[in-house]
Structure 1
Amino acid sequence: MVKITTMIQQDSELRTLQGAVVILFFWHYASAECLRMLPYLTRWHALYSSLGLKIVGIHSPLFRFEHDARIANREIAALSLPFQTILDDESHHYRREYSVLSQPYIVLLNAFGAHAGTYEGEGDYARIESRIHGLLQETSRAPMHLPSIPLYRTGDPKARHAVCYHATPTIFLRHSPIIDADGIYHDIRHHVLNQWHLQGQWDLAPDYIQHARDTHTYTDYLALRYNAFHVNIVADRVGRKPHTVRITLDNKPLTLQNRGNDVELRNGHSYVTIDRPRLYNLVANTIFHVGELRIYVDTKDVRFYALSFSGCAGTQV
């Protein structure tokens, strides 16, 4: 992977896009919404790359740790994507060039390099693939025999009959609940849907919250009443030492039936080990669930950036 500023200077990189239908996929690796789109892009690459489609991922960081090229390259490489991803520079050159305000975001270019469509957020997969068909046909002198377009209804391109519900929106943990004069957060008894609460001692930064004391007992927590199939959290730790947090759902440990991919069950409890800056999948219900999530922390230097949710069955995060 190379930075965009480097790519612009390398004619060999640019020549690979000449005469091709191009998807520019703006994304960042710690976004559940972006990760849920990767199976579709992988499918389109497999079906259409030999027919003239080129996909270029543009990683445009949102969270502060995503600006570290070493971290971003490592996490992107772990995804084993079949198409190239390049790193946007610190000034978000390409985001500004294409007026990208949020991610995920797709820009379609025709074989002459002109704008041929923009698509913001998840969904519209059938429309995007139909547009790909049209652009590929324009580049061919003879009719192309293109694959049929499936009926997309969920985050899994193989799932045809799943349904989606209105889930809790992404919550960025950057606005403070009420804090007492002693500097300690005290949780309230009744929680409102989609509002987060803190118990214990926490520090709040402009783009994250950080637990601020060692308790050695799981008494301090972040709580949220939500509705979704899946729940994810963007988290990191200060220093190199991993930290373990305890997860409960409706005041009970998670189970084999509803734990997320990053949850470990042991000694009657459910835990997640925060070992590097990334998205962690906490809850993976097979039914749409309305409940209360709590994340208990017993040591300082754990950071939480955002909570994200999926309202569609069949997704991975």
Structure 2
Amino acid sequence: MLAFSSAGRSFLRYSGLSLAVALCAAPVARATPLASLSGATSWLNTQPLSADALKGKVVLVDFWTYSCINCLRELPYVEAWADKYKPYGLVIIGVHAPEFAFEKNLDNIRKAVTRFHIGFPVAVDNDRAIWNGFGNEYWPAAYFIGGNGKIQAHHFGEGDYDNSERLIQTMLRENGAKDVPSDLVHPKAVAEQAEADQSDIGSPETYIGYERASNFISTGGAIQDAPNDYVIERAPALNQWGLSGNWSVGPESARLNKAGGAIVFRFHARDLHLVLGPVKGDAPVKFRVTIDGMAPGAMHGSDCDENGNGTVIGQRLYQLVRQNDDAVGEHEFRIEFLSPGVEAFSFTFG
């Protein structure tokens, strides 16, 4: 088993990366990290849970946020474990720790819990009190806690599900549970929750706000916090992207001010996702996707049709491209918005 040290910066997602289960506590976590549950700003699917109430139980604390593609691909396994092992004493707590400001909106979190059929307890950690109590730096991150309230192991990133489930089985048996199943779950996830094609991802997570943007090619660069007419004067190379039309680029996102604005990205991956939201509440914004200048056809994602048409109806991750596993290639993606009032945050791939 591998042990891991703290990452170089906080709040790091793992895009297409899995780190094996580590049989040691995160070095900066509290000795009794479950005490930090008292810092939750809200609870969903349960009354508030406390360290005292969880004494003697095996607990899996899973940090996630609802626009993180890695978290969404992990969720079917966490949900399956919650259903399968609840009768044997496992308690799963999903700690929703936001990355973007809109992920603090409780209505948005409730919609995500409903959309992804999450039935286990969810602690809303808008102040990062639980995140800090665990010394966490990753999405997703799973902490396996024994009946003594101490972390016995942790896993950062998606993947390695078989080893995680075997660890759950072992911990439950050691905690006195009888007849714990020894088989493993194999959930059949669809759309954005389907497991990534890890062997053919050539594009990294890419942020649109100026605080973390990279590989931006619109002429003149990003003008911070002010409206600007953007132009793309050359075709992007792999993993380069740009804006066209009138946008205001902020620290987290870019907001479209006039109809007809577009975003272009040259990518290599099976799936392309874009975190989007309407600027004003749930006011819908229609869009059209093209791939290499043409309608996506069979390569369309779950949030647009074969003609590339779709609608932004809430602040969330949208799957816009899904290629066949045996035909993954490099392509130029373009999304044009037919009305103003959309906000774009980040690209992720799978």
- TM over 0.5: same fold? yes
Measured against aligned partners, the alpha-carbon deviations of 1:70-128 in whole angstroms (never above 9, x if no partner) come to 22223223322121112113x21000111111211111101111111111111121221
Q: Does 1:184 align with 2:229?
A: yes
TM-score, normalised to structure 2, is 0.76
The match for 1:148 among 183, 188, 191 is 183
Q: Secondary structure at the match of 2:82?
A: helix
1:279 aligns with 2:279: no
1:296 aligned residue: 336
Contact 2:273 2:321 in 1 (8 A): yes
CA RMSD of aligned residues (A): 2.9
Structure 1 Cα separation of the partners of residues 228 and 42 of structure 2:
48
What is the total number of aligned residue pairs between the two structures?
293
State the partner residue of 2:5: none
Aligned partners of 2:42 and 2:122: how far apart in 1? Answer: 13
| Runs (5+) with no aligned partner, structure 1 | 311-317
Q: Is the 8 A contact 1:57 1:83 kept in 2?
A: yes
Counterpart of 2:112 (choices 75, 87, 107) is: 75
| Equivalent-residue separation in structure 2 for 1:141 and 1:187 (angstroms) | 61
Aligned to 1:166: 201
Q: How does 1:113-132 map to 2 (within 5 A)?
A: 113-132=149-168
Distance of 2:346 and 2:145 partners within structure 1? 32
In 2, are the aligned partners of 1:37 and 1:155 still within 8 Å (CA)? no
Query: For 2:263, which of 192, 213, 222 is the aligned residue?
Result: 222
Aligned ranges for residues 225-264 of structure 1 at < 5 Å?
225-239=266-280, 240-255=282-297, 257-264=298-305
- In 1, Cα distance between the equivalents of 2:301 and 2:334? 14
2:177 and 2:310 map into 1 onto residues whose CA distance is 55
Percent identity at matched positions? Answer: 24
Aligned residue type for 1:248: T
Q: How far apart, in 1, do the equivalents of 2:341 and 2:39 lie?
A: 31
Q: Quick check: 1:57 aligned with 2:60?
A: no
Contact 2:58 2:147 in 1 (8 A): yes
Name 1:314's counterpart in structure 2: none
Shift, 1:189, TM fit: 2.2
Question: Using a 3 Å threshold, how does the CA distance of structure 1 residues 126 and 259 change in structure 2: closer, same or farther?
Answer: same
SS of residue paired to 2:163 = helix
Quote the offset at 1:145 in angstroms: 4.7
The change in CA–CA distance for 1:137 and 1:3 in structure 2 (over 3 A counts) is same
Q: Is the 8 A contact 1:213 1:299 kept in 2?
A: yes
Higher normalized strand content (fraction of residues) = 1
- Partners of 1:187 and 1:63 lie apart in 2 by 27
Q: Which residues of structure 2 form unaligned runs of 5+?
A: 1-37, 222-226
Question: SS at the partner of 1:247?
Answer: strand
Distance in 2 (alpha carbons) for counterparts of 1:205 and 1:47: 44
TM-score by length of 1: 0.83
Q: Could you tell me which residue of structure 1 aligns to residue 245 of structure 2?
A: 200
Q: 2:67 aligns with which of 30, 33, 42?
A: 30
Q: Quick check: 2:89–2:177 contact (8 Å CA) kept in 1?
A: no
Give the 3-state SS of the residue equivalent to 1:306 in structure 2.
strand
Q: Does 1:108 align with 2:144?
A: yes
Matches for 1:134-145 after TM superposition, within 5 Å: 134-140=170-176, 144-145=179-180
